[in-house]
Each structure stands twice: as structure tokens, then as C-alpha cells.
Structure 1
Amino acid sequence: MPKPTDAHKKLEKLIGSWSGQEKLHPSPWDPKGGTARGRVTNRSALDGFVVVQDYEQERNGVINFCGHGVFGWNAAQQCYTLHWFDSMGMPPNEFRGSFKNDVLTMTSQDPQGHSRATFDFSKENQYSFRMEVSQDGKQWHTFMEGKYSQKM
């Protein structure tokens, strides 16, 4: 029976229930920006080969955005992957990337442009997240930032 590799096991940093404050920068989707509360639940699945994520964003006491992701390791291409689905109703995104120490950076491109997601696990029981967007893949603008603590 196949077993997860060290690369698969690196994704275990994601596992757990997390919550935290988020800052949304002004954008075409949210011209004013603002703050939100994010809740993330990540669990190991398929015998440790993937991590499944469920995400909710709450603003003014209302869940206004939900997402579902599947993180994995693509051994053939030597990269981490994230298949992302959300309540915006757009086609799913596929992110690819790598770890540098405790920071996972992943990028995606779709008809709307480029996206870059950064997960920083350098602090124990915490992580920070940043989502950036770009029309050309060169000039990046921060769309959202979050700091999350693990629920014990």
C-alpha cells in the first residue's frame, strides 16, 4: 500500500480548526474593503495524501463567503497543488506552488487574472495568510490578509 511521502506530510501544518481576523483591501469585488472573521477547518483525507479545507468568512454577523479546497502534492511536477471551489460561482481554481521553510506560496491563473496565496506557518499554533491579485502576473496587489490561531 502506498504511503504519504515527506512532501505530503509537510501539508500537515494545515490540519486543525483555525479562526482569526481578516482585512479585505478595496477591490472590484468589495470597493470599500473592511474586516471579517475567518474560520478554517482542515483535515487529513485519503490516508494522508491530501488535506481538505472548509472555509467561512463572516461579516456583520452573516456568513458572506464560503470555500472548499483540496491540497495535495504532485510528485510528477514536484509541486504542491490546491484545487479551490467557492461561493462566488466561478470555475474552480488550481493553484501550484512550493514551501520555502515554513511558508507555502501558491499561484493560479484564470480569465480574471493571476492570484497568489501565501500561508506562513513560522509561528506555532498560528498562521498568516495573504491573497494577492494581478492582471499581468508582475504587479501584485494585496486583496486579503488574515491572521489565524489554532483552536485547541
Structure 2
Amino acid sequence: MEDVGMKRPSMIIVFLTLLFAFTAAGRAQMQMPKPGPEHKKLDYFVGTWATDGDMKPGPMGPGGKFTGTSHDEWMDGGFFMVIHSNMKMPMGTGTGLAVMGYNADQKKYTYHEFNSMGEAEAATGTVDGDTWAWTDENMMNGNVVHGRYTMKILSPTSYTFKYEVSQDGNWITVMDGKTTKTK
């Protein structure tokens, strides 16, 4: 008669060894997703940037000059860019945190910002050559306001921008300016 007590641990060891081998092989075949070429276009924004602009009098305030700085860096994985910003405007100073990425299902870039003025902004964008075009929809004084933010790349270290709003299809420029990479 064979010793069943000795065979049982041996079979358990064989089973666990096979289980580990199959699990390890399965993990080796599963690869982490990698950013696509659309994500790589966001590389342009990596670095520290300085902005000088002009706010027009209107729905966003009294108008005047504004300045800002931002530090843009990739989040681990390379799918999302994290942007920390500081700004000085005619209404005061503020800070912001934004996340920019790409939605492959919508084939659009995404932008989500939260700032110290209590605003939460969301926009989607496209890029065509040297022009980035972002659109958003917000509530202002109880009304839906459509916005479009256009960036024209001038060089690897600078771009101009314009932000326009509309309630009825007539676009009004509310701010424009230039942003330059400092680091």
C-alpha cells in the first residue's frame, strides 16, 4: 500500500508550480498600454511657460493685462499631462491645476482644469498642423456660453492664443496673448 500522505504534498507542489508558471506566462503576454502618436503631440507643452495677455472688457470682467506661469509635465505612463499654473489678472491672483490628454474613442484631446476661483473647466480639442483648437461650454449668469480657445504655434518655444465666447453664434474675443517657454 502506497503512502497517500507523501503523494498529497507532492501533488500540491506540482499543482502550485504549474499554476505559477501559467500565471507568469499570462502576465508576460499582457502588456501595459502605451501612449499613441496623438499623446506624443502633447510633448510640445512639456516645460515651464510664461504668458502675457490682454483681457477684453466684457462678460469675463473689466479687462486689462494679465500674466501667468505654468509648469507642464507628463504623469507617469505618458497618457496625461499635468499642468500647475499661477496667474495675475486685473481681478487678482490665482492658481490652477489642469490635466490634458487624448480620448481615442472621441478622437479629441481633453482638458480639465480646476482653479482657485472655484471654477471647473472642461474642453475638447483638435490639432491641425500648427493650430490647436479647443471648445468648451459653460454657464455664465444662467446662460449657456460656448467658448473656443485657439493656439497658433509660432516656434518650439512660443505660441499665440485667443479665447472667444458666444451665446448666439457671434463670437467675441475675451482674451488673447502670447506664451513663451522659459525652461
User: In which range does the TM-score fall when normalised by the shorter chain?
Assistant: 0.7 to 0.9
What is the 5 A alignment of 1:103-122?
A: 103-112=131-140, 113-122=145-154
Following superposition, the deviation at residue 132 of structure 1 comes to 1.3
Following superposition, the deviation at residue 86 of structure 1 comes to 1.7
More strand by share: 1
C-alpha distance in 2 between matches for 1:76 and 1:143 = 31
C-alpha distance in 2 between matches for 1:82 and 1:5 = 17
Q: TM-score, normalised by structure 1?
A: 0.88
Following superposition, the deviation at residue 102 of structure 1 comes to 1.8
Following superposition, the deviation at residue 111 of structure 1 comes to 2.3
Residue 19 of structure 1 corresponds to which residue in structure 2? 50
Structure 2: 5+ residue stretches without partners: 1-31
Which of 61, 65, 80 is the aligned partner of 2:109?
Answer: 80
Number of aligned positions between the proteins: 148
Matched, 1:127 2:138: no
C-alpha distance in 2 between matches for 1:63 and 1:41 = 20
C-alpha distance in 2 between matches for 1:59 and 1:111 = 21
Following superposition, the deviation at residue 117 of structure 1 comes to 1.4
Which of 91, 108, 118 is the aligned partner of 1:89?
Answer: 118
Residue 17 of structure 2 corresponds to which residue in structure 1? none
Q: Is the 8 A contact 2:68 2:86 kept in 1?
A: yes
Q: After the TM superposition, which of the residue ranges 41-50 and 111-120 deviates more from structure 2?
A: 111-120
Residue 70 of structure 1 corresponds to which residue in structure 2? 99
Instruction: Give the aligned CA root-mean-square deviation in angstroms.
Output: 1.8
Q: Percent same amino acid among aligned pairs? A: 34
Question: Greater RCO between the two (CA within 8 Å, min separation 6)?
Answer: 1
Structure 1: 5+ residue stretches without partners: none
Following superposition, the deviation at residue 63 of structure 1 comes to 5.7
What is the 5 A alignment of 1:21-60?
A: 21-31=52-62, 33-59=63-89
Q: Is the 8 A contact 1:58 1:65 kept in 2?
A: yes
Following superposition, the deviation at residue 5 of structure 1 comes to 0.3
Q: Which has the larger radius of gyration?
A: 2
Following superposition, the deviation at residue 124 of structure 1 comes to 2.4
C-alpha distance in 1 between matches for 2:49 and 2:103 = 26
Residue 101 of structure 1 corresponds to which residue in structure 2? 129
Structure 2: which amino acid aligns with 1:151? T
More helix by share: 2
Structure 2: which amino acid aligns with 1:81? T
Residue 142 of structure 1 corresponds to which residue in structure 2? 173
Structure 2: which amino acid aligns with 1:89? G
C-alpha distance in 1 between matches for 2:122 and 2:48 = 23
